[in-house]
Amino acid sequence: MSNVEIIKGLYQAFEQGDMTSILDVLDPNVEWSESEGIPYGRTFIGHQAIMDGVFQKIGSEWDNFQAHVDEFIDAGDKVIRVC
């Protein structure tokens, strides 16, 4: 599976609320950074920190939250998403 396919699969899992599939792809010690200046802006380390600090807050504080991506660009060992 290519990096782009993995990231596309993650976004599909987000749309479906499939947290199990998301966590299955992420390393247990993943470092997830939310941009400073936005709600929850900081780095979360590990599955539980991401669940508590990002996903549960988004689910409880935002109605019908969606992440829309126009394009995924394969940049070798990185994937760029264009919103």
Q: Could you tell me if 4 and 81 are in contact, meaning their C-beta atoms sit under 8 angstroms apart?
A: no
DSSP labels for 9-46?
Answer: HHHHHHHHT-HHHHHHHS-TT-EEEPPTTSTT-SEEES
Report d(CA 20, CA 35) in Å as an integer: 24
Tokens matching residue 51: 């669940």
Q: What is the mean pLDDT of each run of 10 residues along the chain (83 residues)?
A: 92 89 94 88 95 88 83 90 81
| Domain ranges within the chain, ordered by starting residue | 3-82
pLDDT computed for residue 57 by the predictor: 87
pLDDT computed for residue 78 by the predictor: 87
pLDDT computed for residue 38 by the predictor: 83
Cβ neighbors of 31 (< 8 A, separation 6 or more) are 43, 44, 45
Q: Does CATH number 3.10.450.50 belong to domain 3-82?
A: yes
63-76: per-residue pLDDT in tens? 888 788 889 999 98
